[in-house]
Amino acid sequence: AHEAYAAARPRSAAIHERARAVMPGGNTRSVLFYTPFPTAMVRGEGCRLWDADGREYLDLLGEYTAGLFGHSETRIIEAVKQALDRGINLASVGEAEQDLARLIIGRFPSIELVRFTNSGTEANLLALAAARGFTGRTKVMVMRGGYHGGVLTFATEQSAVNLPIPLAFTDYNDPAAATRDILAEGSLLAAVLVEPMLGSGGCIPASREFLQALRDATRQTGAVLIFDEVMTSRHGPGGLQQRMDVIPDMTTLGKYMAGGMSFGAFGGRADIMAVFDGHKPGTLPHAGTFNNNVWSMAAGCVAMGEIFDAATAEALYARGEALRDALNAACTAAGVGMQFTGRGSMLTVHFRPGPITAPYAATPAENALRELFFFDLLAQGIYLARRGMAALSLPVGEADCARYVAAVEEFVAARKPLLA
Ligand code: PMP
């Protein structure tokens, strides 16, 4: 698969070779790295992409959920242009900032007050800082295999090197263990940080029982419960928390919410967020030159105020559910131990049968199939995350979904002897 891939992409190969001289691994986003070299995209329109060698793709990656509006939504582009016409960042507060804050507060049940950052990574760091400041405690609990950005990447006891604060761990979707572990930490624990569906960790939904166990145990010990909805906030008008009917103390946001411009936000209970209130003594600092940059704020107002309304969020969720059902029906019909997990418009392929409720160590055979899947789909003109995740954007239509199902059927037919 690698040879055909490389032969079809001489320009991408050359770009990668040049990049390696100035950046370790040839890029600055680990998720975009794969061997032999990543495809270099040079143009996008709607849900189409073109690479440096002139090949066209259906974009089902949707910039890892940040590309919800596609690559050419004119209302977003207009909003950004108009904002820049009034001057590149003015070192000042602006009204778009509070307009966007109001839109977000109106949507998410857990958010009474909100602040902006440049990324989801920062949003999580600042939410943890808020929880630590509010509780006067230091330790933070995360899920093994959770993903919270560049500093808590597929969290394990070993990978905490990027985040120099004391961490505790528990297992995803194990209510009894989580309850026990939270209660054992007791008054040491400042916060529990959890994705209501593991996103990068495999599109593995949390059970309501698990989220409720976290809610109950944190209420008992006084730890702040933080939902990382950087990816999952798209799953309903009020995010996945509203759909699951479990409301955390704080929520972190990011990705698509500024129309694809860089973005992050964290918010929650007013008494917790008050740790940043400059009107009060002893507040925590939260600076950041680009926190309220004019293009993200302007694009965010249009994205959340005009385009991604409640009906659009529900329609996207339904489209994703229908696609995943069709894909799983195709796998079942073919009798292969392959499945697509997720919720709504986010889905990941797995090469094992049976329920998947927690991150797992993939076997070499599974890893080989995942790699084949990525390169086979790419050869069919479909762009996914290397790990096999898709995140639908609004321009992805019925015909595009049908094309993905047909491409998966072709993969299954071609690779059937390898599929258990
Ligand atoms: N949290 C989750 C759940 C994410 O998926 C990501 C990004 N993939 C982040 C946080 C980090 O966001 P960013 O890449 O904007 O820093």
For residue 287, report the phi and psi dihedrals to the nearest 5 degrees. Answer: -95, 180
Question: 350-369 pLDDT, tens per residue?
Answer: 999 999 999 999 999 999 99
96-104 long-range Cβ contacts below 8 angstroms, 24+ apart: 96/294, 96/297, 96/298, 96/300, 96/301, 97/292, 97/297, 99/297, 99/301, 99/305, 100/297, 100/300, 100/301, 100/304, 100/305, 103/300, 103/301, 103/304, 103/305, 104/253, 104/257, 104/265, 104/267, 104/304
Which among 282, 251, 263, 297 is positioned nearest to 98, based on CA atoms? 297
Which among 310, 189, 308, 181 is positioned nearest to 243, based on CA atoms? 310
The Cα 35–Cα 373 span in angstroms is 14
Q: Does 212 share its domain with 349? A: no
**Would the pLDDT of 154 be above 90?**
no
ipTM here: 0.99
| Whether residue 254 has its Cβ less than 6 Å from ligand 1 | yes
In the sheet where 167-170 sits, what is the strand order? 113-117, 264-268, 250-254, 224-228, 189-194, 139-143, 167-170
Q: How many domains does the chain have?
A: 2
Q: Does 264 share its domain with 294? A: yes
Q: Does 39 share its domain with 152? A: no
**Would the pLDDT of 149 be above 70?**
yes
**Would the pLDDT of 157 be above 70?**
no
Q: Does 315 share its domain with 288? A: no
**Percent of the chain with pLDDT strictly greater than 90:** 95
| Pair of tokens at residue 328 | 């799983």
**Would the pLDDT of 156 be above 80?**
no
Nearest atom in ligand 1 to 149's CA = 11
How many angstroms does the Cα of residue 153 sit away from the middle of ligand 1?
A: 9
How many angstroms does the Cα of residue 149 sit away from the middle of ligand 1?
A: 4
CATH code of the domain covering residue 23: 3.90.1150.10
How many angstroms does the Cα of residue 143 sit away from the middle of ligand 1?
A: 15
CATH code of the domain covering residue 218: 3.40.640.10
| Whether residue 119 has its Cβ less than 6 Å from ligand 1 | yes
| Secondary structure of the chain in HEC code, one letter for each residue | CHHHHHHCCHHHHHHHHHHHCCCHHHCCCHHHCCCCCCCCEEEEECCEEEECCCCEEEECCHHHHCCCCCCCCHHHHHHHHHHHHCCCCCCCCCHHHHHHHHHHHHHCCCCCEEEEECCHHHHHHHHHHHHHHHHCCCEEEEECCCCCCCCCCCCCCCHHHHCCCCEEEECCCCHHHHHHHHHHHHHHEEEEEECCEECCCCCEECCHHHHHHHHHHHHHHCCEEEEECCCHHHHCCCHHHHHHCCCCCEEEEEHHHHCCCCCEEEEECHHHHHHHCCCCCCCCCCCCCCCCCHHHHHHHHHHHHHHCCHHHHHHHHHHHHHHHHHHHHHHHHHCCCCEEEEECCEEEEECCCCCCCCCCCCCHHHHHHHHHHHHHHHHCCEECCCCCEEECCCCCCHHHHHHHHHHHHHHHHHHHHHCC
Q: Does 49 share its domain with 103? A: no
Nearest atom in ligand 1 to 64's CA = 8
For the segment 337-343, the average pLDDT, to the nearest whole number, is: 97
| Pocket mutation for ligand 1, best pick of 65, 126, 143, 230 (most atoms within 8 Å of C-beta) | 230
Nearest atom in ligand 1 to 229's CA = 3
Q: Does 279 share its domain with 146? A: yes
**Would the pLDDT of 163 be above 70?**
yes
Which among 291, 319, 302 is positioned nearest to 395, based on CA atoms? 319
For the segment 210-218, the average pLDDT, to the nearest whole number, is: 98
Nearest atom in ligand 1 to 255's CA = 15
* CB-count exposure of residue 298 (10 Å: 0-12, 13-18, 19+): buried
Least confident of 145-159, 172-186, 320-334, 394-408: 145-159
Q: Does 322 share its domain with 196? A: no
Q: Does 173 share its domain with 128? A: yes
Please give the residue range of the domain that contains residue 160: 74-307
The Cα 74–Cα 260 span in angstroms is 12
Q: What is the pLDDT of residue 159?
A: 60
Name the band, by pLDDT with cuts 50, 70 and 90, for residue 282: confident
Q: Is the peptide bond before 36 cis (omega within 30 degrees of 0)?
A: yes
Q: What is the pLDDT of residue 257?
A: 98
Nearest CA to ligand 1 atom 1: 148
Nearest atom in ligand 1 to 120's CA = 12
Q: What is the pLDDT of residue 164?
A: 75
| Whether residue 392 has its Cβ less than 6 Å from ligand 1 | no
| Whether residue 181 has its Cβ less than 6 Å from ligand 1 | no
Q: Does 126 share its domain with 221? A: yes
Q: What is the pLDDT of residue 410?
A: 98
Last residue of a domain, one of 307, 322, 340: 307
The greatest distance separating any two alpha carbons of the chain, rounded to the nearest whole angstrom, comes to 68
Last residue of a domain, one of 292, 307, 322: 307
Question: 52-87 pLDDT, tens per residue?
Answer: 999 999 999 999 999 999 999 999 999 999 999 999
**Would the pLDDT of 162 be above 70?**
no
**Would the pLDDT of 385 be above 90?**
yes
Question: 172-201 pLDDT, tens per residue?
Answer: 999 999 999 999 999 999 999 999 999 999
Q: Does 27 share its domain with 114? A: no
**Would the pLDDT of 204 be above 80?**
yes
**Would the pLDDT of 401 be above 80?**
yes
**Would the pLDDT of 160 be above 90?**
no
Q: Does 147 share its domain with 265? A: yes
Q: Does 36 share its domain with 123? A: no
The Cα 252–Cα 129 span in angstroms is 12
Last residue of a domain, one of 284, 307, 330: 307
| Whether residue 230 has its Cβ less than 6 Å from ligand 1 | yes
